[in-house]
Chain A
Amino acid sequence: MIRKSYFRSIAVGSTLLWITVFVVVPYVFVVLFSFLTRDPEGIVSWIFTVKNYREIVSPVFLKVCRNSFLLALGTTVITLFAAYPFAFVLSRVNRRLQRILILLMIIPFWTSSLIRTYALIILFKANGILNTFLLYLGLIDQPLNILYTQVAVFIGLVYTLLPFMILPLYSSIQKLDRTMIEAARDLGATSKNIFFKIILPLTMPGIIAGSTMVFLPALGLFYIPDLLGGARSMLIGNFIKNQFLTTGNWPLGSAASVVLTLVMFLFIYGYFLSSRRAHTSGMEGMP
C-alpha cells in the first residue's frame, strides 16, 4: 500500500510540477502583464492599468477577431466535409487497409508542421512543383497563382488539421452498431433517412469533438496564414506574435492572449456540456 501511494504521489506530483512551472507560472505572468503599462525602454513598467483591454475593444482588433473566427470556421467546415466520408470508409475497410491508412495519416506528424508548411510553399510557388507539373501536362498556360492567397491558407490549415478531424470521427463512426442501420432498413428507411436520422445523430459526439479539435487550433495557428497567405490579413495569432516580437508591446499582447484563452475556454466548456448531454439524453425527438 505504501509503495502504491508513493508511486501515486510521484506520478501526480511530477506532472503537477511540470504544469506549474511551464504553464501556470508563465500564464500568471501573462495575466499580470496584461494589466501593466508598456515601457519603451524595458519590457513593462509596474503601473497598473486596464488600458490594454480598452485598446483591444477597438475596431481594428475586432476585425482581426472576425477574420480569425471566419478562417477557423471555414477550416472546420471544409475539414468536416473532407473527413467524414474518409472516416466512414476507413471504418468499413478491412483491418489491414485500415492500419495502412491510419499510418499514412500519422506519418506527417513525424515532421514539424512548420517544415511541412514550407514544403507547401515549394509546392505552390509560381515556378513550384505543382505549376511546373500542370504546365508540363499542358493543362494550364500560365502558372496558377495559389501562393499568398486565401486559397493557400485554407489548403495549409485543412492539410495540417485534417487528422484531428478524422480520428474522432473515425472512432465514433466505428462505434456505430451495424444492426442500427439494418433495423432502419427493416423499418423502411431510405439511405437518406438512415444517414440523417440515424448515422448523423449517432456520430454527433465525433463531429463535435473533431470540430473542437480543428476550430481551436485554427484560431491560434499564426504561422500558416503568415507563410502561405503572405500576411495579408491580420489574425489573432499574428496580432499577438507581433505585439511580443515586433512592436514590443507585451502588455497588449498579453491582454489579447487572455481574451483568446477565455474564448477558447468558452468553446471547450460548450463542448463539455454538449458531449455530456449527448451521453445522457441524446437528441430529443424527430421532426
Chain B
Amino acid sequence: MADVLIRNVVKRFGKVEVVHGVNLEFYDNEFIVLVGPSGCGKSTILRMIAGLEKITEGEILIDGKVINDVAPKDRGIAMVFQNYALYPHMNVFNNMSFGLKLSKKPKEEIAKRVNEVAAILELGGLLHRKPYELSGGQRQRVAMGRAMVRNPSIFLFDEPLSNLDAKLRTQMRTEIKLLHQKVQSSIIYVTHDQVEAMTLADRIVVMHDGYIEQVGAPIELFEKPANTFVAGFIGSPPMNLVPARITRAATGLQLEFNDKLSIPIPAKPGAEVADGQEVIMGIRTEDFAIDITTNGFPDEWKVEGIVEVVEPLGGETNMHMDMQGVKFTARSEGRRIIRVGEKLRLALNLNHLHIFDAETTRSIY
C-alpha cells in the first residue's frame, strides 16, 4: 500500500543514457505494467525502484519519502526475479523464510507467516523440497511466496512469466491477478509481452528507447494510441499502419494511398488533419468486415481486394490482402472458408480510423 513518484529520473551506464528523464506516478493498490521491447529501459526503472541500480539523476519517492539513498530492504518492496533466483541449497521453507530470518523475527512468527503464504499459494506440501524438485510453475510460486511473506507495500515483478511455457504462462497470469486482489498491495510489473500487459494492468506504461510513449488503461491505449509506436505495439495482430496523403475531394478530406485507392475521412471534432499533409493511416485488423448487405457501412467505406495469404486461427482468420495496390491485414470470422486468390469486398469501419502525423508519428485524428 504505497504511492510511488518518479521525478525526472535519468539512468546512465557509463556514457550511455538508457532512461531519459522519466516522470511517473503510481497510486496505492494499483497494478502497473511497464511494457516495451527489450532495451527500452523498463527493467532499469524497476531496478532503480528496487534499489539494485543507482539513480543517476532525479528522484524516486515512496509514500512521499525520497528513497534514492535508502537501502533496498528499507524500501518496503519485494522483488520477484525473472529466473526466480531461488537458492538451490535451501528448501522451499528456507527460501521463503530467508528474508524474515535476516530481520531476526521470532521463529514461531516466521513459521506461521510462511505457512499462511504457502497455503495461499498451494505450496503446503512442498515446503521441504529443494527448488530442483519443483516444476517451473511451482518455482514461480515459491518466488512469489518469498516476496509475499515480507508483506511488502509494493511488489516488483521483473518478467516473471517469460521462463514458462505458453499454457503455464496463461495460468500463472490468472494467479498473479488473483494474488493482487488478495494482498491489497501495489504491483509494478515489467514485461515485453503486450498480452500480459493488457490482461494484468490497471494502467500500462508503454516505453521505447528510454522514453515513455504513453500511460493509460489497457482499453485506452488500444482505442486511442498516442503515436504509431503504441499503435503498433498494443494489439495482436498489430494495427495496419500505411503511409498516405491527405487530399480534398468533393465530399471532404480523404486519405489518398495511390491513384486507385482513396478513403474518405469522416469529420470528427478535434482532428488536426489538413489538405496536403503526409500521414500514416492506422486501422486495426478487426475493423474490417466482409461486405454483406446487412452490416450497414456506407458504400464509400468499401474497397475491393485480393486475398494473398490466409492464416486460419479457428475462431478467426487473418487475411493478408492486396487492396488496390495497398497491403492490409484484415480479420474475418473463422468459420467462413476463405481461399487464396479470392476477390473480396471489404468494408473499413472508419469509426475506428486512426491518423498519425508522418513526421512526428503523433496521433492527429
Contact = CB atoms under 8 A, between A and B. Distances in A.
Contacts of B102: 187-189, 193
Contacts of A188: 72-73, 99, 102-103
A282 B90 contact: yes
Contacts of B77: 186
Contacts, number: 67
Given A281-B130, A286-B101, A187 B146 contact: yes
A27 to B, nearest CB: 39
A286 B94 contact: yes
Contacts of B146: 183, 187
Contact of A185 (B72, B83, B101, B132): B72
A285 B52 contact: no
Given A188-B72, A282-B89, A286-B101, A182 B52 contact: yes
B26 interface: no
B81 interface: yes
B150 A201 contact: no
A283 B83 CA distance: 21
A198 B52 CA distance: 17
A275 to B, nearest CB: 14
A157 interface: no
Contacts of A184: 98
Interface in B86-109: 87-91, 94, 98-99, 101-103
B73 A187 contact: yes
Contacts of B50: 186
B78 interface: yes
Contacts of A201: 89
Given A187-B146, A188-B73, A285 B90 contact: yes
B66 interface: no
Interface in A16-75: none
B274 interface: no
A177 interface: yes
A201 B72 CA distance: 23
Nearest to B82: A179
Interface residues of A, number: 23
A209 interface: no
Contact of A285 (B79, B94, B132): B94
Nearest to A198: B87
A180 interface: yes
Contacts of B83: 177, 179
A188 to B, nearest CB: 3
A202 B88 CA distance: 8
B340 interface: no
Contacts of A183: 79, 81, 85, 146
A128 to B, nearest CB: 46
Contacts of A282: 88-90, 130
Contact of A180 (B87, B101, B130): B87
Interface in A211-261: none
A184 B101 CA distance: 12
Nearest to A181: B85
Interface in B30-88: 50-52, 72-73, 77-79, 81-83, 85, 87-88
A100 B124 CA distance: 50
B81 A179 contact: yes
Given A282-B130, A286-B101, A186 B78 contact: yes
Contacts of B150: 187
Contacts of B82: 179
Contacts of A179: 81-83, 85
A282 B77 CA distance: 29
A180 to B, nearest CB: 5
A189 B87 CA distance: 14
A161 B310 CA distance: 67
Contacts of B88: 202, 282
Given A179-B82, A186-B77, 9 more contacts: A185-B51, A187-B73, A188-B72, A188-B102, A189-B102, A202-B87, A280-B132, A286-B90, A286-B94
14 contacts: A182-B52, A182-B85, A185-B52, A185-B73, A186-B50, A186-B72, A186-B78, A187-B98, A187-B102, A188-B102, A189-B73, A189-B98, A202-B88, A284-B91
Interface of B: 50-52, 72-73, 77-79, 81-83, 85, 87-91, 94, 98-99, 101-103, 130, 132, 146, 150
| 6 tightest Cβ-Cβ pairs between the two chains A and B | A188-B73, A282-B89, A187-B99, A183-B85, A179-B85, A283-B89
